[in-house]
Amino acid sequence: MSKAKIWLSSPHMGGEEQKFVNEAFQENWIAPLGPNVNGFEQDLRNKLSANKEVAALSSGTAALHLALLQLGISIGDEVICQSFTFSASANPITYLGAQPVFVDSEKETWNICPVSLEKALENRIQQGKKVKAIIIVHLYGMPCKIEELTKVANKYNIPIVEDAAEALGSTYQNKSCGTFGKFGVLSFNGNKIITTSGGGALVCPSVKDKEKTVYYATQARDNAPHYQHSEIGYNYRLSNISAGIGRGQMLVLDEHIQLRRKMNLFYQELFSNIEGVTVFKEPNEDFYSNHWLSAILIDKEKTNGVDREQLRLAMEEENIECRPLWKPMHLQPVFKNAPYYGGNVAENLFENGLCLPSGSNLTDDDRERIKQVILKVFKV
Ligand SMILES: *Cc1c(COP(=O)(O)O)cnc(C)c1O
């Protein structure tokens, strides 16, 4: 019999989720609105503690779409986006007929480089392009260089959309990721730090912006007894059933962050004696990562040729899931015509990086199995 699969990141229920779901059944709130939706939004507001409003939506992708829509982005506009990310950060730009412009990462946080960002902005503006927003991403839970990025964005007076889909619970200078941009995006997909089976949220600057978000997310109905519409809307609201799972998950979020951070420490210790491998961690005290995924970078010049693919395959053999880092958007066939600014930081990360099992539900046995493969591959 083969060994049980160890996942990169799998759903981890706290135990109270079904209670909230049962309440929804008892009260017949089987709809994309209800007490769980309101309660979940309130829980998220409390967690972010930044005087922001939260609109619960059907996905993080939907949240990004509605953020860009409300920033007035349309055909012919440009939106700058971190290249090193999941495609969901960039896809909504194209839903609105706008052009994505990709920017490289810097080496400390692996997120968008403030210097390359400024070069991109200068060059696009010189060419007479209308850059309407900047999408920054906190990958793997690591906050990006908010201070430098905000400075550049303010200089050119362009709003930031903060993709915090992987960073619920991460902070920069003690402030929550998702609360720095004009809009912030959260995701509760199956493999994120908390899950509602599928869902997302838009963090909004005011009650008015939240109301507008909910309006667009519920087919843009005008205020009338009949169904009247003056604008195009979407069906993007979160279901009251999913939100019930979310309320249960919020009860264990802090505990799960601590467990993910422990996984990161486990890898830091494990690799401390292995030449040529660095575990991704915060550059200094300003940064606090939820360590949604733990990742390593392998310098094969220093590992006697062991590369990320060799490690990945050895893990796969033992039924342990690992995954290369995100393939940058400027290398994706679908975005091959999009402009790109920067060097090869993101490309190097993709070539040499690997995400390791990081779930909050991993056991001592799982860790031992992971450790044995790593010791074997690196011959320690
Ligand atoms: C998961 C994710 C999204 C999209 O969220 P969904 O809820 O899956 O639509 C967007 N950006 C990043 C960086 C993500 O990891």
CA of 165 to the centre of ligand 1 (A): 5
CA of 289 to the centre of ligand 1 (A): 17
Question: Which residue type does 23 have?
Answer: E
Closest CA to 104 of 278, 329, 294: 329
pLDDT of res. 277: 97
pLDDT of res. 6: 97
pLDDT of res. 380: 81
Which runs of E-coded beta strand occur in 120-182? 131-137, 160-163, 171-172, 175-176
| This prediction's pTM | 0.97
Nearest CA to ligand 1 atom 5: 60
pLDDT of res. 2: 72
pLDDT of res. 369: 97
CA of 183 to the centre of ligand 1 (A): 15
Closest CA to 54 of 156, 193, 199: 199
The per-residue pLDDT string of the chain (380 residues; one tens digit each, 9 = 90 and over) reads 578 999 999 999 999 999 999 999 999 999 999 999 999 999 999 999 999 999 999 999 999 999 999 999 999 999 999 999 999 999 999 999 999 999 999 999 999 999 999 999 999 999 999 999 999 999 999 999 999 999 999 999 999 999 999 999 999 999 999 999 999 999 999 999 999 999 999 999 999 999 999 999 999 999 999 999 999 999 999 999 999 999 999 999 999 999 999 999 999 999 999 999 999 999 999 999 999 999 999 999 999 999 999 999 999 999 999 999 999 999 999 999 999 999 999 999 999 999 999 999 999 999 999 999 999 999 88
Using most ligand atoms within 8 A of CB, pick from 57, 59, 61, 162 the residue to mutate for ligand 1. Answer: 61
Distance (Å) of CA 194 to CA 85, 126, 166, 167: 19, 43, 10, 10
63 Cα nearest atom in ligand 1: 9
Domain parsing of the chain, residue ranges:
17-253, 254-377
Pairwise CA distance, residues 167 & 31, whole Å: 28
* Side-chain half-sphere exposure of 45, counting CA atoms within 13 A: 17
Specify whether domain 254-377 bears CATH 3.90.1150.10: yes
pLDDT of res. 1: 52
Q: Which CATH class is domain 17-253?
A: alpha beta
